[in-house]
């Protein structure tokens, strides 16, 4: 029989209260592990209540020598701009870091400034916005993209200083403790010129205009299908640029496009996790679509896609489920045939595939149906061909 102390013990290992909302959140379990923790020290409340009175300075070291120059650039973040600069550093030049650089001949120091400040608990979101924009800069500069481990295995510290002078001690500090080491080649540096910045943003504008042009006057579900198809069509026309982007960045490009058409949210909480994209009909909030994207790398990636799209991130309330497979493989049709077979064999899929064709397009978009929580729901399977042979 449980003791009184055990009965009174909360289900979480710790409780965190947000000064911004007043809500309390449970962190971890008594027998579990808390990942991607955020430590906030000092007077968080003062920064949250009066952001215009503070400047935020966030610094971290990427365990990779990026091939971009040290010119400053900015990233929009809500109602403020994040001023960013990259600095190539050699071993022994660390100012503040918990990244193990003892095996790295060079790495990249990143500094972000925001005036007015963002809230301390927005530090992870601010860093993510900078890293996503950095991926677009690298693609525009014909540089290799950041690998997932480059972005995950770092430690970020944000300090919050009162204005107008910031030479005194910080009022608050936020730290994201993640560590790791990656050894990679050191490329030449390409200056972040106006043309590089413009090229990084032009891709997003062109893609949005191309996809939104045809879809605006169609029904909600047809708009979704059209946007998924045209996104794949556009990507096939620009593989050299898009193939360098990682899964999250490509998903965010699609998300920006779909936000022009309807209510779209990335990393939306849905059932037992976070779906890649959740779309809601602005004219009927009960009509929604769940989209999951995954790069083809092995069969395990597709099994994960099926688990997310047909089990973990769906409730049976959806009007459409979209599974989108991205591929850099030269043997494109092998990927299409293999994934189609895996989807057909899933126990939830209950109908044969029918190909959805727009005009003379040769994109591979298929429709079938799946049973989710007792409900039969349309399922779209889309393929995005990002293969690019730079020797052509």
Both tokens of 282, joined, read 């602005």
For residue 125, the model assigns a pLDDT of: 85
As a whole number of Å, the CA-based R_g of the chain is 23
* 381 contacts 293 by C-beta, under 8 angstroms: no
Distance CA 292, CA 305 (A): 7
Quote the pTM value.
0.57
Per-residue tens of pLDDT for the chain, all 392 residues: 444 444 444 444 455 555 555 555 444 444 443 444 567 788 888 998 999 999 999 998 888 889 999 999 999 998 899 999 999 988 777 776 666 666 778 889 999 999 999 988 888 889 889 998 998 999 899 888 887 666 666 788 899 999 987 677 899 988 876 544 444 456 778 788 888 778 777 877 888 888 777 666 788 999 999 999 999 998 888 877 787 788 888 888 888 888 888 888 877 777 677 888 999 998 898 999 999 999 988 788 899 999 998 998 888 899 999 999 999 888 889 999 999 999 999 999 999 999 999 888 999 999 999 999 999 999 999 999 988 764 44
Both tokens of 118, joined, read 């963002």
Classify residue 329 as exposed, middle or buried by CB count within 10 Å of its CB (0-12, 13-18, 19+).
middle
CA separation, residue 215 to residues 208, 261, 367, 376, 380 (Å): 11, 8, 18, 26, 17
Pick the closest to residue 38 from 174, 179, 180 (CA basis).
174
For residue 13, the model assigns a pLDDT of: 46
* Domain residue limits, the chain: 1-35, 36-176, 194-385
Distance CA 249, CA 229 (A): 18
Distance CA 63, CA 105 (A): 10
359 Ramachandran zone, left/alpha/beta (phi>0; psi -120 to 50): left
Pick the closest to residue 18 from 178, 176, 174, 170 (CA basis).
174
Sign of CA dihedral 165, 169, 171, 173: positive
């Amino acid at each position: 029989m449980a003791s009184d102390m055990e009965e009174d013990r909360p289900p979480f290992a710790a409780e965190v209260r947000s000064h911004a909302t007043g809500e309390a959140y449970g962190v971890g379990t008594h027998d579990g592990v808390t990942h991607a923790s955020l430590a906030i020290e000092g007077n968080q409340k003062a920064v949250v209540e009066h952001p215009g009175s503070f400047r935020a300075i966030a610094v971290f070291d990427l365990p990779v020598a990026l091939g971009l120059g040290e010119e400053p650039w900015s990233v929009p973040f809500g109602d403020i701009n994040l001023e960013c600069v990259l600095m190539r550093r050699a071993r022994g030049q660390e100012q503040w870091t918990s990244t193990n650089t003892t095996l790295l001949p060079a790495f990249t120091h990143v500094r972000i400034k925001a005036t007015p400040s963002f809230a301390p608990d927005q530090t992870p979101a601010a860093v993510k916005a900078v890293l996503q924009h950095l991926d677009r800069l690298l693609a525009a500069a014909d540089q290799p993209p950041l690998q997932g481990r480059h972005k995950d295995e770092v430690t970020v510290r944000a300090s919050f200083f009162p204005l107008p002078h910031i030479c005194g001690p910080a009022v608050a500090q936020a730290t994201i403790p993640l560590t790791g080491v990656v050894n990679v080649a050191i490329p030449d540096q390409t200056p972040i010129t106006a043309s590089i910045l413009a090229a990084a943003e032009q891709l997003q504008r062109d893609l949005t205009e191309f996809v939104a042009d045809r879809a605006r006057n169609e029904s909600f579900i047809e708009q979704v299908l059209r946007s998924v198809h045209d996104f794949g069509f556009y990507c096939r026309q620009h593989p050299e640029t898009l193939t360098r982007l990682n899964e999250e960045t490509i998903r965010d490009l699609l998300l920006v496009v779909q936000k022009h058409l309807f209510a779209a949210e990335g990393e939306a909480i849905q059932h037992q996790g976070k779906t890649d994209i959740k779309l809601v009909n602005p004219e009927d909030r009960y009509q929604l679509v769940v989209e999951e994207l995954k790069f083809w790398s092995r069969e395990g990636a597709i099994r994960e896609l099926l688990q997310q799209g047909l089990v973990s991130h769906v409730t049976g309330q959806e009007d459409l489920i979209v599974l989108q497979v991205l591929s850099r493989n030269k043997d494109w049709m092998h990927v299409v045939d293999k994934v189609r077979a895996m989807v057909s064999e899933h126990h939830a899929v209950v109908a044969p595939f029918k190909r959805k064709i727009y005009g003379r397009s040769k994109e591979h978009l298929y429709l079938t149906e799946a049973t989710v929580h007792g409900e039969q729901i349309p399922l779209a399977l889309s393929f995005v061909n990002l293969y690019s042979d730079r020797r052509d």
